[in-house]
Amino acid sequence: MGIKFQWLGHSAFDMHIDGHSVVFDPFLTGNPLAATTPEMLSPELILLSHAHGDHLGDTVAIAQASGAPVVANVEISKWLFEHGVKNAQGQNSGGLGDYGFVTVKLTIAFHSSSFPDGSYGGNPNGFIVTARESGQRLYFAGDTALFSDMALIGDERIDVAFLPIGDYYTMGTADSIRAIKYIRPRFVVPMHYNTAPPISQDASGWANRVSNETSAVPIVLDPGGEFSVPRVV
Ligand code: NI
Ligand code: MN
């Protein structure tokens, strides 16, 4: 079945991976671009890249309502457990976790990570997620600067990459083009832009650059928009 996803605004996605719902960085309450509400989501797995409020978002409520495990770093999983989430999986950078229908490897990300209450959120991460049945693979970068070791992530053969393009807090459009050249994905999806004035971007101008300067196909969605990653033919 492969990977299908809906952009929920900012860095929040509801992905269907071989038919299983996986929610990423579910910042919905207070997100002006939010395409859904926490009550509408019923994931089997939740992935949280770091502790900042615009990623942590509604994680606790969604995890409690769904019972879905939350995959994050050790410090975040401990914080979640202390805040009433029963099943938090504390991985760390470079480690692979097996969740049945997917494996999830935590990648490095160059950013920071603290909770809205000021407590320490460990190191920020990205994710390499591999669908067991279809074999399709995604890279969700989280919040990060450009780094040249993205080439190592590219060596893993990425079908679709999710990259921040907003600038100011993360890499911007120009560095995202350099990132795509390292990662070499078949498809690339922009995130973490247009949520607030400091991160406003021209996504269609970005898409033109991706098409002209890289081998990836840009997928620009409106909040709520969906895309299915086609098989390699
Ligand atoms: Ni952040
Ligand atoms: Mn952020």
Q: What is the pLDDT of residues 153-196, one digit of tens each?
A: 999 999 999 999 999 999 999 999 999 999 999 999 999 999 99
Q: Is the pLDDT of residue 232 over 90?
A: no
Q: What pTM was estimated for this model as a whole?
A: 0.98
Span from the CA of 10 to the centroid of ligand 2 (angstroms): 8
**Residue partners of 184: CB distance under 8 A and separation at least 6:** 154, 158, 215, 216
pLDDT tens digits, 91-128: 999 999 999 999 999 999 999 999 999 999 999 999 99
The CA distances from residue 157 to 7, 130, 152, in Å, are 23, 10, 10
Q: What is the rounded average pLDDT for all residues in the chain?
A: 98
> Phi and psi (nearest 5°) for 3?
-105, 125
In this structure, which ligand is nearest to the CA of 166?
Answer: 2
Span from the CA of 144 to the centroid of ligand 2 (angstroms): 9
pLDDT tens digits, 182-231: 999 999 999 999 999 999 999 999 999 999 999 999 999 999 999 999 99
- Grouping H, G, I as helix, E, B as strand and the rest as coil, residue 20 is strand
Distance CA 43, CA 227 (A): 18
AA identity, residue 80: L
Span from the CA of 48 to the centroid of ligand 2 (angstroms): 11
**Residue partners of 13: CB distance under 8 A and separation at least 6:** 5, 6, 7, 23, 24, 25, 140, 162, 191
Span from the CA of 105 to the centroid of ligand 2 (angstroms): 20
How many other CB atoms sit within 10 Å of the CB of residue 86? Answer: 11
The CA distances from residue 22 to 11, 108, 211, in Å, are 13, 20, 28
Given a contact cutoff of 8 angstroms between Cβ atoms, the answer to whether 195 and 9 are in contact is yes
Span from the CA of 51 to the centroid of ligand 2 (angstroms): 9
H-type helices in 172-219, by residue range?
Answer: 173-183, 203-213
Q: Which residues pair with 136 in a beta bridge?
A: none
In this structure, which ligand is nearest to the CA of 124?
Answer: 1
* Maximal C-alpha separation, the chain: 48
> Tell me, what's the pLDDT at 1?
87
For residue 143 the two structure tokens come to 């919040």
- Ion ligand 1 neighbours (CB, 5 A) are 52, 143
Span from the CA of 51 to the centroid of ligand 1 (angstroms): 7
Span from the CA of 166 to the centroid of ligand 1 (angstroms): 12
Q: Is the pLDDT of residue 233 over 80?
A: no
In this structure, which ligand is nearest to the CA of 164?
Answer: 2
Span from the CA of 154 to the centroid of ligand 2 (angstroms): 23
Q: Is the pLDDT of residue 19 over 90?
A: yes
Span from the CA of 1 to the centroid of ligand 1 (angstroms): 32
Domains of the chain: 3-218 (3.60.15.10)
pLDDT tens digits, 37-59: 999 999 999 999 999 999 999 99
Span from the CA of 169 to the centroid of ligand 2 (angstroms): 7
In percent, how much of the chain has pLDDT > 90?
99
Span from the CA of 231 to the centroid of ligand 2 (angstroms): 31
